[in-house]
Structures are given as C-alpha cells and as structure tokens.
Amino acid sequence: MPPRYRHWSSARSSKSSQQSSVSRRVPGRRPLSLSSTSTLQASSDSQLPVLDDSRHSYSSPSQPRLPELQLDDDTFDEVIMAVDLQRRGTVGCSYYVVRDEKLYCMEDIQLGGVDIVEAFYIDPTVIIISTKVTDAVVHQLDPDAGNFTLEDQDRESEWAEFFPGTALTIPDHQYRLPFILEQRPPSEFSYEAAKTKISHLALEGDPQLRCNFVMTGDKILSDAAGDGEANTGQQSCLLRLAGLIDLDSNLTIGCAGALLSYLQRRRAAAYLPGGIDTQHVFRVSTVEMFSLKETMFVNSDTLHCLRILENESHPNSHNQGPGKIPSGSKEGLSVYGLFHHLARTPQGKHRLRQIFLRPSVNLDVIEDRLEIIRTFIRPENSEAMNTLSESLKAVGNMHVIVSSLKKGVGGAGFPGKTGGPSNTLWSRLQRFTFFALSISDAIREINGGAHLPIVKKVLERIERHHLANVGKRISDLIDLDASAEESRTIIKAGVDEELDRMKHVFEGLPSLLSEVARKISEKVPASLQTFLNAIYYPQIGFLVTVPLERTTGEAVYAGNFDNPWEQIFMTEDQVYYKTDEMREMDDHFGDLYGMISEREIDISHELAQYILGYEEVIVQASDILGELDSLLALSQGAQTYNLHCPNMTQDNLIDIKGGRHILQEYALSAKFVPNDTLLVGGLGPRESSPHAGGTSSRRFPTDEADCPSMLILTGPNYSGKSIYLTQVALIVYLAHIGSFVPAESATIGITDKILSRVSTRETVSRSQSTFMIDLQQMSLALNLASRRSLLIVDEFGKGTDSSDGAGLAAAILTHLLGLGADSPKVLAATHFHEIFENNLLPQSPQLAFGHMEVCVNDTAAEPEDQVTYLYNFRDGRSNSSFGACCAAMNGIPVEIICRADDLIAMAIRGEDLVAACASMPVAEAEELREAQMAREFLEQEIFGDPKAKLGEILKLPSNHFTNT
C-alpha cells in the first residue's frame, strides 16, 4: 500500500523539545481523502480491524453548525485524530470531526501493535502522535520520513520564510500523502490533565435534572456546562461523562486531551482572544464512543464478569509488583484459559488471545473459522491433527529470532569479543524451517481441507523453497552439536580455508607447547626442570610458568642476569613470565584464539545477513503457523469440552437448545443441567417481519409476535440465575469468535455489543461507591445499546434503598421495552418482586418471565432441607427468594433464621412490621421484669427490716414493672 501521510512535526530527534508547533494548511491545497479502493477490505485473510461507521451518541438533535462563522470548506472537512501506542501493544485513539463538533473516543485496544495504527481508516486530515512513540510507529505512518535531499532542504528554507515560527519537514513529493503528521510532547497526552480538559467541555443534551456532586478536594469548574452554574465539581462532570465514554481507557483519554490542546492552539492562532468566534469554532458539542469495524464491542467490565480473561498473580510476592518487566501473573480459570494451553506456539497463544479480545461480526470470517473447526475435528483427520500439534511444539516465534539477528544478540559468544548470534538461535531457526516444511506436508493430508483459507495460506504463502534454503545454509555452516557442547557458535570444517588452518594450528598447540617447554627447561637448573611449563592464554599470548617459593614469596626461577624474564602476573602458587621464546611465538602465531573467534563471528554475521534477506518469508511463515495453531486450539477445545457448531445468521435472535456454562461445567464434579433460551431483538425500521426482503437465513421457531426481546428471571438465591445469564452471553461470545459453543444447538444472530451490569469492581483508587459504579455501568450500557446488542442485568438496584432500587430497575426495563423496533435483547435477574406485584412493568409480548426451578419441602425440620435446587429453567415468575433457607445453609444461627421467618410471614400477611418489631418478646419482657425488680430493691431503704421490704416488692403485680 502506498504511503498515506505527510510528515509535519517538531524536531523529533530531541525528545526534550517542548516547543509548540502550529500546523497550517498549504494555501489552495485541499487534503486528499482515501478512495474506496485504498480502504482495507475485511475478509477472512485480514487480521487488521478497521473502524466502525455506526456510532451511538448522547446529544440533542443535530442542528446547523456555526452559520455565522466564515470558515472555508477545508476547515469544515477536517478530521483530527490522536493516536498513542505503548510498548506492550496497547493502543488508544480519539478523533474530532469539525463539521459535526463531535469528539469520538474508543476503548483502549489490547495487543494492538504498530500494524493496528494503519487500520484506523477515519480519513483524518491531521494525525497527532507523541514524541515518545517508537520509530516503528512513525515509519508505519510515513515510510519516507527522514529521507531528504539538498533540494528538499532548499524547499524547506523557502517554506520557513512563508511560515515563520513553524517547524516543517517537507520530503520529496510533498503532496503524496493526505495527512499532516504532528508530534507533540508526552505531557500533552497526560491522563490526569486530559480528564480535567474533558470535564470542562460544554456538551449539548446534558440532562435537565442536574444534581452536582462535590467532594473534599474536588476541583470546582467555572460554568463548566455553560448554564450559569459556577459550583459544578469536576467529579460531577466526570460522573456524567462515564456514562458516555470509558474513562478508564488511559491512552484514549490522553489522546483526547492532546486533541483538545491541538484545537485550542488552532483556535488561538486563527482568532483574537475574547472574540465571539473564539467561543464557537472548534468547540466540542458531543462526546461519543466508537468501536472497531466488524468487531463486537465488549468492554473490560463485560470481559471481567464473563471471565473471558482472568490474570492470576504469582504466589511469590516478589513476582507481583509493578515494573518494566512483566509480572509473574498467569492465566487463571477463564474461558480463554480453557483454550490457552491447547496452543503450542508463542505466536499461536498471542493470536488466540487476539481472537478472544476481538470477536468478529463479519459473518464470512465467523463461518470460515467454523468450517475449519468442522473439518479439523472429523474422525478421519485425527491423525493429521496430532501430527500438526506435535510439529507446532517445535516452532518458535520468529519475530523474536529476527529481532535478535538484527541486534546481533549473542549467547555465550567468545571471551573478550563482541558475541555473534547465540548458538541456540541457529538451532531454533533450523528447527523452525524443518518443522514449517513438515507442517506444510502434513496439512495436505487433511481430508476435505483443500478449500479452507488457512490450508490455502499454508500451502500458498509459506515459501518452501526459501525456507529450505535457510535451513540448508544453517546446516552447511553451523556445527550445531559442537555449538551445544561448547555453548558458542562453532563453524563447520570446510566452510573457510583460513579458519580451518587456524583451527588446525590451535589443535596442535598442546604438543608444540610441550616441546617448547622442554627446550626452555634445558636452560634452567635441573632441579627446576620438572616444574616449568609453557601455556597459552587468549589475548595475553604464550607464557612460561614456574612455581612460587612460599618462604620467600618469589618465583623459584626468573631467568638469568643476561636474559631476565618479564613477569606478567602471579597467582597464589604460580608466576607467569614472558620470555624471548614466548615473544617469538606471539609474533609468529598471534592471538590465535582471538583470530579464530573473529573469523567465526564474521561468518556467523554473514549468515545472519543472509537470513535477514529472507526476513519477510520467515516472519510471514511464523504468523501463518501461529494462526494455524490458534485454530487448532479452538478445534481441540471443541472436542475436549463437548462443544457444537452454532448456526450463525443475520436474523436478530438468540435461540439456544441445551445451553451450558462452559466454565461452571468445567469446575463442577456433577453433571451440569442444560437450559434453553429464546430472545428476538428489535426488527429495525426497514424490516416489517423477521424474514422480509429475503434477508433472513431461517425462520423463527414461533411467530415473531410471541418471541420476547426481554427475559426477566426471578427465583431463589443459589438457583442459578446469574449462571444462566452469563451462560447465554458466553455462548453468543464464543459464536462470534468463530468457536463451537456449549449447547446442543444454537442459532445466533449477529450481535454488535455485549453490555453488562453484573459484577462491581470496587477499588480504593476510585472515589465512588458501589452503587455509583453500578449506575455508571448501566448508563454506559443504555447509551451504547442498539437493537443488535445483548444486555445482561443482574440484580441492578440492590445497592440503594429498596424502593429507589425497584423504581430504577422498573424504569430502565420499561425504557428498554419502549424502544420497540430498536429494542435490544435483554436478560435481567431481580429480587424486586414488588415490581411485578404493583404492575410497574407494561404488558407486552416482548416481555417474558422465567425462573429457576426448585423443589420445596415444607415438612422438613431443618431450613436448609426445605429447598432442593433443580437448576431447570421454567417459564413464569417465582414469588419467593428463600433467603432464610440460604442463610441457614451458610451457618447463620437458628434463632436469627426463626426470627426472619416470622417477619417474612408477617410481611406476607400484610401486618405492620414496625409495630411487630416494637412489641417485646415474652423472654425479653421477663428479663426486663427481673431487672426492674432488682433496681427497685436497690433503691429502697433496707436498714429497718430488709426481709419485709423485699416481701412488699415481691407482692407487687407482674405488670407493674413492664408498665413503668
């Protein structure tokens, strides 16, 4: 793909440069826009997600923008985007559309990498990045950045005269790219500063019912909403924003802050301070979320409550703390963890995690994966699958190997020399080429796999001839066995004639040194001849060694007066000398070991350069094998966990027969009880019936009027309501990653989002209560939900007063039902029975009730024996939660259980609980009577006749003390 960006930035070579650079458009030059042919088309071969054009806003109806401003068309057509990328692959992005006055924010993307930056097809006219990003990001945006000529420098000086005070970089063919790339200091991408800037935005469509939330130490915003309220707290504004965008996406919020700073600079450069236009141009009226195109939106709260991913910290505290190195965490009990160990290669595990993080809504991509799994798990393909799995165990991640080759990273290397590539690196490379060829042969044996996309990739895009050349070259040059024994790279004999000659001489040194020592010993006293020895030290050369006389601390012999020896160094019992004979050998042989080392390093570097010539071939093969490994993991998971192929459709429904919770089933020793589910979302404005226009792939199981879009679960605690809710969401989720699902059969319509209010992730780092966090989750879900969304709500409202909680829950459910043709698919569980008893929900065919079946035994003596949980889903409502029985099961004292049963019975009979609680039990009344008697006795004068006084007290009526 040709480069698409124009590089225009502050001086990037100086990271400390904090000067502001104001971007300006070339007069008369309108930024180019991407054509439809240059846009990345999503297909089964594409691994790069692109941005979704369907957005959900929170604003008033659109109105004409800025009719009084005299702005040119170029300014109105501007789209300004800010992107930030961390080293671990997390990507944040925010962009602003001038004409619509809208600021779009996404949720931070995990495992994104540099390539995903190219996937942001928003047609921006300006891209803002941090000076802290790596050169790889800049190169991805502008491959020709930094390529200048003398003519370019002359042109740059001319532009500097035309645009004084700006830092411009103008490569050749300056109009080839339709983007301005501006780099800003990392301080502008600060998360905390960005939150402050966003909280000052005056957004349209803010709720009319305003209740400011101000806490100790909070920042007071001056007329933040533009309505004259000068006492609005920053936390109050952030709470409302949390219902529109994900404020926990640090990189994206930082990008939004950098983007707002850019708008402020543009506004200050174009208009005078205090002018009317200054208040309106480049303003932000609406804040919205956007998601990656053809990718299901699943935020971090939903991933957590469904336990898609779950990191488990290392038990050793020293491996848990924060730092630059990865922590000692591992994947815990999670859905991804069930498949994680089935992937054999590092790149396969990485690719599998990407699949789990980015469920697809592209029906072709999903069907391709399902067809691959169907083919792989055929009985006749079991042997081929086993061969592929065993071969993949020996395949390493070639991205790491190639990176090591580029850096010249060595393992043991040679003493005192710059090490060449590690000896283990060569063996891993050769093993990769061998098993890559073996896998390409084995995959041909898969019956019915010739049409599969992954099989075509392996057979067509893995270049066998080049891989064979690489493997053969390593085998011809490197002695892998000797390298493993000596822990350094050993070049084979016959590769280099000069190297062979030096090794031959080096191997003959022991006998030569023995002969030289014998000749030297003839010149020393006979008593010392047996103690003299000649040795060779790399880099030091040839030396003569004699023993040390312990009494004198001197050598027993150090040459004679005419020919003294030069002492080089000494140890505890030996002294090492240079003699004329040793100097002569140094001159003749040189540093033999060092020369061998240098020559072998040169040859290994030549081999590395040769292999880097095939870098693209090797990396591409590694990625393809990683994708194959991830699909094999999904296939083996389908066999291991008894999963079945779902039927994916464009119809907006969920029809599950015999659905199971994959994690709960895995953790249980008993057999899991499967259940059915049927939900049909809104038909949308363009469809009059579920199968109108010939777009449906199947007919609904019953008439569409009888198919609910909302199912409300009631029933006892412990009966499995939460499991039922999450099991349906997990089946939908697994279907969208292209996996088989835990159900006898499942027809799943394309779902664009899974939104949840299930679990609350509390933390001391937030100044928010549990109920406040629940409200933020619910607000975000309501703002993002569309008719193709699945919304699961578990006991919302339990964190506040029962009346308020029931009212909020009923109002939200009524709102979702009232959406009609745009209503999402909703699964909700609640214990607020007053919602139904007081008819707070409207009668609607879209509303269905269900409960989890239990068996009640009223004759059981113990409360914990009165309820038996059957875990079967049944239609209709349940009127009891059996909370007292659950309390008894958990060891709550019996007297508390009995008192709770009495209060529950009185509430059912409609008795006044306040009066009931005010009346005193008989035992307590008797205890109070005795205490009052004792108090009366102590207050009396008993010096006369204490027995008579006591008798008088005891003769008082029994109700005397209780009425006192």
Phi, psi of 542 (to 5 degrees): -90, 135
Cβ(682)–Cβ(819) below 8 Å = yes
Q: Quote the CA–CA distance of 840 and 834 in Å, as a whole number.
A: 8
Q: What is the torsion angle, in degrees rounded to the nearest 10, for the CA atoms of residue 595, residue 596, residue 599 and residue 605? A: -120
The pLDDT of residue 894: 73
* 360 three-class SS: strand
The pLDDT of residue 633: 96
Highest averaged pLDDT of the listed ranges 309-313, 690-694, 753-757, 758-762: 753-757
Cβ(750)–Cβ(649) below 8 Å = yes
Closest CA to 755 of 436, 343, 326, 302: 302
Tokens representing 156 are 């740059």
How does pLDDT run across 461-471, given as a tens digit for each residue?
A: 999 999 999 99
Mean pLDDT to the nearest integer, 874-895: 76
Closest CA to 709 of 642, 790, 628, 783: 790
Mean pLDDT to the nearest integer, 574-580: 87
Residue 289: is its pLDDT beyond 80? yes
Cβ(104)–Cβ(95) below 8 Å = yes
Closest CA to 335 of 664, 758, 626: 664
CA distances (Å), origin 345, targets 120, 391, 432:
29, 10, 11
Mean pLDDT to the nearest integer, 323-338: 69
Residue 284: is its pLDDT beyond 50? yes
Q: Looking at per-residue confidence, does 33 or 98 come out higher?
A: 98
The pLDDT of residue 515: 85
Judging by beta carbons within 10 Å of its beta carbon (0-12, 13-18, 19+), is residue 300 exposed, middle or buried?
middle
Residue 876: is its pLDDT beyond 60? yes
Q: Quote the CA–CA distance of 813 and 875 in Å, as a whole number.
A: 19
Mean pLDDT (the chain) is 77
DSSP string, 244-300: TS-TT-HHHHHHHHHHHHHHHHHHHHHS-TT-TGGGTTT---EEEE--EETB-B--H
Residue 480: is its pLDDT beyond 90? no
Tokens representing 925 are 């009344």
Side-chain-side CA neighbours of residue 483 (13 Å):
27
Closest CA to 701 of 651, 658, 741, 750: 651
How does pLDDT run across 506-520, given as a tens digit for each residue?
A: 888 888 888 888 888
With residue 953 as reference, give the H or E element that holds it.
helix 946-954
Residue 64: is its pLDDT beyond 70? no
The pLDDT of residue 206: 56
Cβ(308)–Cβ(124) below 8 Å = no
Q: Quote the CA–CA distance of 205 and 286 in Å, as a whole number.
A: 8
How does pLDDT run across 414-448, given as a tens digit for each residue?
A: 333 344 455 578 889 999 999 999 999 999 999 99
Q: Looking at per-residue confidence, does 605 or 631 come out higher?
A: 631
Identity of residue 271: Y
The pLDDT of residue 28: 34
Angle at which helix 363-376 crosses helix 615-640, to 10 degrees, equals: 70
The pLDDT of residue 759: 76
The pLDDT of residue 2: 40
How does pLDDT run across 796-831, given as a tens digit for each residue?
A: 878 777 778 888 989 999 999 999 889 999 999 988
Instruction: Name the DSSP letter for residue 822.
Output: G
Identity of residue 380: E
Mean pLDDT to the nearest integer, 182-203: 87
Instruction: Name the DSSP letter for residue 564.
Output: B
Highest averaged pLDDT of the listed ranges 10-24, 173-187, 349-363: 349-363
Q: Looking at per-residue confidence, does 731 or 73 come out higher?
A: 731
Residue 528: is its pLDDT beyond 80? no
Residue 628: is its pLDDT beyond 50? yes
Closest CA to 813 of 824, 821, 802: 824
The pLDDT of residue 833: 81
CA distances (Å), origin 260, targets 215, 331, 839, 902:
26, 38, 48, 61
Q: Looking at per-residue confidence, does 705 or 858 come out higher?
A: 858
Neighbouring residues of 504: CB distance < 8 A, sequence distance ≥ 6: none
Q: What angle do CA 401, 404, 405 make, to 5 degrees?
A: 90
Cβ(579)–Cβ(565) below 8 Å = yes
Pairing of strands 825-829, 710-714: parallel
How does pLDDT run across 350-403, given as a tens digit for each residue?
A: 999 999 999 999 999 999 999 999 999 999 999 999 999 999 998 989 988 888
Residue 574: is its pLDDT beyond 60? yes
Bridge partner residues of 548 (DSSP) = 555
Residue 48: is its pLDDT beyond 60? no
With residue 162 as reference, give the H or E element that holds it.
helix 150-162
The pLDDT of residue 154: 54
Q: Looking at per-residue confidence, does 27 or 255 come out higher?
A: 255
Mean pLDDT to the nearest integer, 232-253: 80
Residue 542: is its pLDDT beyond 80? yes
The pLDDT of residue 735: 96
pLDDT bin (cut points 50, 70, 90) of residue 616 is very high
Can you state the percent helix, strand and coil of the chain, rounding each to 5? 45, 15, 40
The pLDDT of residue 43: 34
Mean pLDDT to the nearest integer, 571-594: 86
With residue 626 as reference, give the H or E element that holds it.
helix 615-640
The pLDDT of residue 29: 33
Mean pLDDT to the nearest integer, 857-880: 76
CA distances (Å), origin 901, targets 881, 905, 917:
12, 6, 13
pLDDT bin (cut points 50, 70, 90) of residue 754 is very high
The pLDDT of residue 171: 44
Q: Looking at per-residue confidence, does 898 or 823 come out higher?
A: 823
Q: Looking at per-residue confidence, does 770 or 587 come out higher?
A: 587
The pLDDT of residue 686: 55
* 56 three-class SS: strand
The pLDDT of residue 90: 86
What is the C-alpha R_g of the chain? 39
Mean pLDDT to the nearest integer, 721-732: 94
How does pLDDT run across 332-341, given as a tens digit for each residue?
A: 789 999 999 9
How does pLDDT run across 104-148, given as a tens digit for each residue?
A: 998 888 887 777 766 666 788 888 888 888 777 777 777 766 554
Mean pLDDT to the nearest integer, 744-750: 95
Domains and CATH numbers, the chain: 306-314+328-486+619-640 (1.10.1420.10), 499-609 (1.10.1420.10), 647-881 (3.40.50.300), 922-962 (no CATH)
Cβ(585)–Cβ(542) below 8 Å = yes
CA distances (Å), origin 181, targets 99, 128, 177, 519, 638:
21, 6, 10, 76, 46
Tokens representing 905 are 């019975």
Residue 102: is its pLDDT beyond 60? yes
Residue 916: is its pLDDT beyond 50? yes
How does pLDDT run across 899-911, given as a tens digit for each residue?
A: 777 777 776 666 7
How does pLDDT run across 147-166, given as a tens digit for each residue?
A: 544 455 555 555 455 444 44
Residue 68: is its pLDDT beyond 70? no
How does pLDDT run across 200-214, given as a tens digit for each residue?
A: 887 776 554 455 555
Considering only 59-73, 503-517, 594-608, which range has the smallest mean pLDDT? 59-73
pLDDT bin (cut points 50, 70, 90) of residue 219 is low
Q: Looking at per-residue confidence, does 937 or 667 come out higher?
A: 667
For residue 202, is it left (φ>0), alpha (ψ between -120 and 50) or beta? beta
pLDDT bin (cut points 50, 70, 90) of residue 956 is low
Mean pLDDT to the nearest integer, 880-895: 73
pLDDT bin (cut points 50, 70, 90) of residue 230 is very low
Q: Quote the CA–CA distance of 373 and 633 in Å, as a whole number.
A: 9
The pLDDT of residue 763: 63
Whether pTM > 0.75 for this model: the answer is yes
DSSP string, 295-333: B-B--HHHHHHTTSS-EE--SSGGGTS-SSSPPS-EE-S
The pLDDT > 90 percentage for the chain reads 27
Q: Quote the CA–CA distance of 735 and 141 in Å, as a whole number.
A: 34
